[in-house]
Amino acid sequence: MTSISKEYYQILLSQSICSATGCSFLFYAPIAALGTWFRVHRALAFGIVTAGSSLGGVVLPIMVDRLVVRVGFGWAMRSTAFLFLGLLVIGNLTIKSRLPPPRKKFSMMEFVTPFAERPFLLLTAAAFMIYLGAFLPFTFIIVQAKTEGMSTGLADYLVSIMNAASTFGRILPAHLGDRYGVFNVMILLTVFGGIVTLAIWLPAGSNAPLIVYGALYGFASGCFLSIVPAMVASISDIRKLGTRTGSLYAVASIGVLIGSPIGGAIVNDQAGHFSGTIVFCGVSLLLGSALAIMSRHALVGFGLKKKV
């Protein structure tokens, strides 16, 4: 649909509705199936699987940019679709849950009842706050870099740099999460992401700090964007992992939806300056980490050395 779109509403339908709906199916079903196969190294398994999206984030921006120049926008989109189709055939043939589907009749209340649990409710609030700001660097760093004088050729690679670092950020922290606790690792990396946003991105005015920030934030974001399913699994009956993960992301996705428009509105209100949006990003991450700490406390209390 995107390849033949000519009007804005067509892009909206194809990307914001059709593509987004498909991506939801592609994410939640495999994550739920994967969680049934692992217990000891569950976080690492989630990290390895979600690292594929970071690798795609490295390759696709460069690939699409080159294809648009060589074959035009339409065939660039079709070529990307054919690539996705081939990969999805492999995925559909290999993904399988260890547990059989539940026999009881499905009820919408199953999506609501998890919020009666204080740790889950606080974790959901944490995910919402984190996702409210987490995607702002991916959305605005290229535009901001160009306003600071970075060449278009270099600025266009910033998101690929962030995604490359995110690949390692999804695997290494996940391994540490299995060893020291997924809550502990996620909280530390989220705080780190908020600090580098305020300490490096906010005052950045040249190429070097922007590139350094992209790498550091990309690594941190790899953790707090991918380890949440492992956190849900750690406080859930594994047979209900798919439902509970869906409940959390139904709320957290609202943060993703409104975060970038809020960031854009702040930029417009500041006459094209990005400082307010950067502060909004950093504060959202720090508030999200505070809520994650509260969720951890609801689980195990104040014990700093407890693996959770």
Residue-wise DSSP of 247-274: HHHHHHHHHHHHHHHHHHHHHHHTTT--
Please give the CATH superfamily to which domain 2-98+111-300 belongs.
Answer: MFS general substrate transporter like domains (1.20.1250.20)
- With 90 as the cut, is the pLDDT of residue 20 above it? no
**Lookup result for tokens 């990969």:** 87
299-304 long-range Cβ contacts below 8 angstroms, 24+ apart:
299/119, 299/183, 299/235
Q: Tell me, what's the pLDDT at 32?
A: 82
Distance of CA 82 to the CA centre of its chain: 24
197 near 281, Cβ under 8 Å?
A: yes
* pLDDT of 181: 93
Q: How far is CA 19 from CA 46, 52, 60, 119, 249, in A?
A: 23, 18, 16, 32, 17
% of the chain at pLDDT higher than 70: 100
Residue 23 amino acid letter: C
Contact indicator for 66, 160 with CB cutoff of 8 Å: no
What average pLDDT does the chain have? 91
Is the model's pLDDT at 209 over the cut of 80? yes
Mean pLDDT confidence for 105-124: 91
Looking at the predicted structure, is the pLDDT value of residue 11 above 90?
no
| Alpha-helical regions (H) of the chain | 8-11, 20-35, 42-71, 73-94, 109-112, 118-134, 136-147, 152-155, 158-180, 182-196, 207-226, 228-234, 241-269, 275-300
Q: Is the pLDDT of residue 52 over 90?
A: no
The pLDDT assigned to 53 comes to 84
Please report the pLDDT score of residue 34 as a whole number.
86
Question: Residue 214 pLDDT more than 90?
Answer: yes
pLDDT digits (tens, 9 = 90+) for 65-110: 889 999 998 999 999 999 999 998 998 898 888 888 777 777 788 8
- Lowest average pLDDT, out of 167-176, 227-236, 298-307, goes to 298-307
HSE at residue 281, side-chain half, CA atoms within 13 A, is 32
pLDDT at 99: 83
CA 201 to chain centre: 19
Is residue 196 within 8 A of residue 226, CB to CB? The reply is no
Q: What is the pLDDT, as a whole number, of residue 178? A: 92
Average pLDDT over every residue of 262-285:
96
Residue 133: pLDDT band with limits 50, 70, 90? very high
**More reliable by pLDDT, 264 or 38:** 264
Closest C-alpha to 228, from 242, 249, 197 = 249
**192 — alpha (psi -120 to 50), left (phi > 0) or beta?**
alpha
User: Mean per-residue pLDDT for 173-201?
Assistant: 96
Percent of the chain with pLDDT over 90: 60
Residue 301, amino acid? G
Taking residue 215's Cβ as centre, other Cβ atoms within 10 Å add up to: 19
The most confident of the ranges 24-38, 105-119, 269-283, 294-308 is 269-283
pLDDT greater at residue 219 or residue 6? 219
pLDDT at 57 over 90: no
3 touches 74 (CB < 8 A): yes
- Distance, first Cα to last Cα, the chain: 45
Tokens of 256: 């993703």
What is the pTM (predicted TM-score) of this model? 0.90
Band of residue 248 on the pLDDT scale cut at 50, 70, 90: very high
Nearest to 206, CA basis, from 145, 157, 124: 145
Given a cut of 80, whether residue 304 has pLDDT beyond it is: no
Residue 265 pLDDT greater than 90, yes or no: yes
